[in-house]
């Protein structure tokens, strides 16, 4: 199988290349393209690969702009560190996505989906699905609304909690909402991915596989020599949450 990676961060691209080699050893990486300009040039001069891994936010624009100039019929696995790109649409339209930092098991599942879809549908269907996805993104972005209130369980009661009063969410066996005054409540959400769909990305950030935190709950950030960050939340919480080296640049951008 022949694949192309469109990714502007060298560290992320190298890591993805390594994971692909370990997960799907027969994959030949034809090119690693670091920008929209490089992608336009490469796809204009070469036959389509079997599969494309494509970062959404590139240094010179959003990768969706690529499709204004070229027509790809091969399947695409998008990669993203953000949740504001209507991730649910990727699943609906049978085009997969990987959330950064990329997890080995998520990549393995994406390859399994790719092989399954290859057997089930002709290549031109992927182009049709991509067009549907782009229409969903363009049409839904402006009208999209995020939850301003969450219903949570407190003892034998169900009570509303305003989004601004949610300091963070965290997952153990179930997902808890912790308020700014330190109260912990059981939420109705089963996965953090489901929760991300209804949270405003300007206010909430998926710190890792266990925590989603609110911007206003952050007290300070400690840097480490490894590139990792540790976020400390305001009193009375006094909770510390680690953000990996791979995700640290996106967290800094979000803060800015």
Q: At what angle do helices 10-23 and 104-120 cross, to 10 degrees?
A: 60
pLDDT of residue 245: 82
User: How many domains would you assign to the chain?
Assistant: 2
Q: Which of 115, 140, 165 is the last residue of a domain?
A: 140
Q: What is the pLDDT, as a whole number, of residue 38?
A: 95
Residue of 55, 56, 46, 51 lying closest to 28 (CA atoms): 51
**Cβ pair 212, 168 in contact under 8 A:** yes
Are 206 and 134 part of one and the same domain? no
DSSP symbol at 149: E
Indicate if 195 and 226 belong to the same structural domain.
yes
Residues 207 and 95 occupy one common structural domain: no
Is 61:54 a contact under the CB 8 Å cutoff?
no
Where among 105, 140, 175 does a domain terminate? Answer: 140
Q: Are 102 and 19 in contact (CB under 8 A)?
A: yes
Q: Which distant-in-sequence residues (6+ apart) come within 8 Å of 90 by Cβ?
A: 78, 96, 97, 133
Domain limits for position 68: 2-140
CB atoms within 10 A of CB 216: 13
Rounded distance between C-alpha atoms, residue 160 and residue 137, angstroms: 30
Distance CA 170, CA 209 (A): 9
**Same structural domain for residues 97 and 156?**
no
CATH number of 156's domain = 2.40.50.1020
pTM of the predicted model, to two decimals? Answer: 0.55
User: Within this chain, do residues 155 and 250 fall inside the same structural domain, yes or no?
Assistant: yes
**Final residue of a structural domain among 106, 122, 140:** 140
Token pair of 113 as six digits: 């989906």
Whether 152 contacts 121, CB under 8 Å: no
Q: pLDDT (tens digit, 0 to 9) for every residue of the chain, 256 residues total?
A: 999 999 998 989 999 999 999 999 999 999 999 999 999 999 999 999 999 999 888 888 888 888 888 888 888 898 877 655 545 445 444 467 787 778 888 899 889 888 887 777 666 566 666 776 666 655 554 455 788 999 999 888 999 999 999 999 999 989 999 999 999 999 999 888 888 878 888 899 989 889 999 999 999 999 999 889 999 999 999 899 999 887 888 888 888 7
The conformation of residue 155, written as its DSSP 8-state character, comes to T
Start-to-end CA span in the chain (Å): 40
Quick one: tokens of 17? 């290349």
CATH of the domain at 20: 3.40.50.2300
Residues 92 and 155 in one domain: no
pLDDT number for residue 86: 46
Beta bridge partners of 218: 233
């Amino acid at each position: 199988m022949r694949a192309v990676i469109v990714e502007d961060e060298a560290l992320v691209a190298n890591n993805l290349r390594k994971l692909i080699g370990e997960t799907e050893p027969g994959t030949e990486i034809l090119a690693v393209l670091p920008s929209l300009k490089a992608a336009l040039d490469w796809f204009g001069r070469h036959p389509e690969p079997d599969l494309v891994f494509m970062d959404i936010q590139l240094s010179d624009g959003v990768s969706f702009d690529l499709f204004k100039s070229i027509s790809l019929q091969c399947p695409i696995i998008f990669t993203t560190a953000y949740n504001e790109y209507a991730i649910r649409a990727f699943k609906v339209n049978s085009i997969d996505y990987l959330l950064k930092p990329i997890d080995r098991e998520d990549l393995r599942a994406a390859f399994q989906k790719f092989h399954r879809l290859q057997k089930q549908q002709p290549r031109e269907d992927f182009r049709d699905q991509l067009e549907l996805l782009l229409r969903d993104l363009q049409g839904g972005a402006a009208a999209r609304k995020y939850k301003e209130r969450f219903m949570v369980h407190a003892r034998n009661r169900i009570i509303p909690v305003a989004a601004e009063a949610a300091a963070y969410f965290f997952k153990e066996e179930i997902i808890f909402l912790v308020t700014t005054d330190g109260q912990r409540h059981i939420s109705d959400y089963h996965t953090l991915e489901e929760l991300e769909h209804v949270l405003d990305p300007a206010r909430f950030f998926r710190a890792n596989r266990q925590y989603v935190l609110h911007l206003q709950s952050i007290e300070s950030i400690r840097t480490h020599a490894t590139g990792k960050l540790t976020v400390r939340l305001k009193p009375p919480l006094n909770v510390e949450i680690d953000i990996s080296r791979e995700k640290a640049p996106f967290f800094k951008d979000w803060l800015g």
